[in-house]
Amino acid sequence: MQMKNFSHQDSPNDLLELALQVARAAGDLLMDRPASFEISSKSTAIDIATQMDRASERLIVESILARRPNDGIIGEEGSSRDSTSGLTWVIDPVDGTVNYLYGLPGWNVSIAVKDELGVIAGVVHSPTTNSTFTAIRGQGAYFNSEKIRCNDPVPLNRALIGTGFAYDVDRRVEQGRIVAQLLPQIRDLRRLGSAAIDICYVALGAFDGYFEFGLFEWDAAAAALIAQEAGAVFTTDSHGVSVCAGPALHSTLAHAVEAHV
C-alpha cells in the first residue's frame, strides 16, 4: 500500500487524506470476502464480529500509527491507545457487520480524527455502493468529491426517515413501539443496516432524517461531522437517542421520537 508520509504537524487536509487512503485500503481488504467466517459474539449473541472486522481494524491502526505514532486510537474491536499528540482516531473497521456477513451492500469503513474541540475530519467509505463521504470541520461535506447539502426544510409528514435497531432484544421491543407510533406521522421508514451510512444519507439528501438508540462513538464520529458540515443537526439526548436531520425537521423529529421513549 503506497502512502504519503505524514507528520505531527499535518493540516486537516493531510489528516483527511490519510484517513481516505487507509479507509480505501481497508475497503479493498474487505472486498475479498472469505469463503467462511469465524464469528464471535460481543454484547449479545446477535452483536457479532468476524475475523475480517479484526483484520480491518488491525490494518487501519497499523497504517495510522506507522505515520503518526503519537496519536491515540479508539476502535470498535478493542484497539485503545492514549494520545500524546492531542489527536485521537475513532475507527469502525466494518460498520454494518451483519450486512457484510450476509453479502449485502452498504457496509462501510468509518474513520474520524478528533482533537479537544471535536472531530476534525471524517471518512465513511462504502466500496459496494461506490460511495465515499468526507468532511473537514468548517469546510463542508462531500460525496465522491461533490459538495452536498441536507434537505431543508422538510415537514415531518413528508419526511423519509432512516433508523437502526439495537442488538439488545428488550430495547428492540421498545424501539418497535416507537416506530409503530412514528410511522403514521412520516412519509416512510428505511432500515439499511449501517448507522454511518444512514447519517451520511441525511447529509446527501437521500434521507430527510434519522434516529437510533445507543450509538457508540465509533458508529457516528465521522458521519456526524459529515452531516453537520452538510447543514444537518446531529444530537444525542440523555436517553441515548441520536437524531439527525435538517434544522427545520430536527426538533420536530426529536420531539416525535422522545414523546414515546
Mean pLDDT over each residue of the chain, to the nearest integer: 93
Q: What is the DSSP letter of 154?
A: -
Q: Which of 129, 148, 167 is the last residue of a domain?
A: 148
Instruction: Name the residue with higher pLDDT: 243 or 1.
Output: 243
Residues 29 and 59 in one domain: yes
**Is the pLDDT assigned to residue 5 strictly greater than 60?**
no
Residues across the chain: 261
Q: What is the DSSP string of 46-65?
A: TSEEEHHHHHHHHHHHHHHH
Residues 168 and 232 in one domain: yes
Residues 126 and 23 in one domain: yes
Mean pLDDT of 229-239: 96
Q: What is the DSSP letter of 114?
A: E
CA atoms within 13 A on the CB side of 222: 36
Pairing of strands 160-163, 209-213: parallel
51-67 and 12-31 are packed helices; what angle lies between their axes, rounded to 10 degrees? 150
Instruction: Name the residue with higher pLDDT: 49 or 76.
Output: 76
pLDDT in tens, 126-142: 999 999 999 999 999 99
pLDDT in tens, 211-233: 999 999 999 999 999 999 999 99
Q: What is the DSSP letter of 157?
A: G
For residue 183, being part of any structural domain is answered with yes
Instruction: Supply the pLDDT for residue 3.
Output: 46
Give the span between the Cα atoms of 124 and 113, in whole angstroms. Answer: 12
- pLDDT category at 45 given cuts 50, 70, 90 is low
Instruction: Supply the pLDDT for residue 7.
Output: 47
Helix (H) or strand (E) segment spanning residue 158: none
Residues 134 and 22 in one domain: yes
Residues 131 and 227 in one domain: no
Residues 196 and 224 in one domain: yes
pLDDT in tens, 65-107: 999 999 999 998 889 999 999 999 999 999 999 999 999 999 9
The range of the structural domain enclosing residue 192 comes to 156-258
Cis peptide preceding 155, ω within 30 of 0: no
For residue 7, being part of any structural domain is answered with no
Give the span between the Cα atoms of 244 and 258, in whole angstroms. Answer: 13
Q: Name residues whose C-beta falls within 8 Å of residue 8's C-beta, 6 or more positions apart in sequence.
A: 68, 70, 85
Instruction: Using DSSP, state whether 116 is helix, strand or coil.
Output: coil
| CA–CA–CA angle 148, 150, 153 (5° rounding) | 145
For residue 204, being part of any structural domain is answered with yes
Q: Which of 115, 148, 181 is the last residue of a domain?
A: 148
For residue 18, being part of any structural domain is answered with yes
Give the span between the Cα atoms of 248 and 151, in whole angstroms. Answer: 9
For residue 3, being part of any structural domain is answered with no
For residue 2, being part of any structural domain is answered with no
Cell digits of residue 237:
439526548
Choose the weakest-confidence range: 108-122, 159-173, 211-225.
Answer: 159-173
Q: What is the DSSP letter of 239?
A: T
For residue 4, being part of any structural domain is answered with no
**How many domains does the chain fold into?**
2
For residue 5, being part of any structural domain is answered with no
Give the span between the Cα atoms of 180 and 93, in whole angstroms. Answer: 32
Instruction: Supply the pLDDT for residue 123.
Output: 98
Q: Are 152 and 231 in contact (CB under 8 A)?
A: yes
Mean pLDDT of 187-194: 97
Instruction: Using DSSP, state whether 112 is helix, strand or coil.
Output: strand
Q: Are 62 and 29 in contact (CB under 8 A)?
A: no
Across the strands, what pairs with 242? 212, 236
**Is the pLDDT assigned to residue 9 strictly greater than 70?**
no
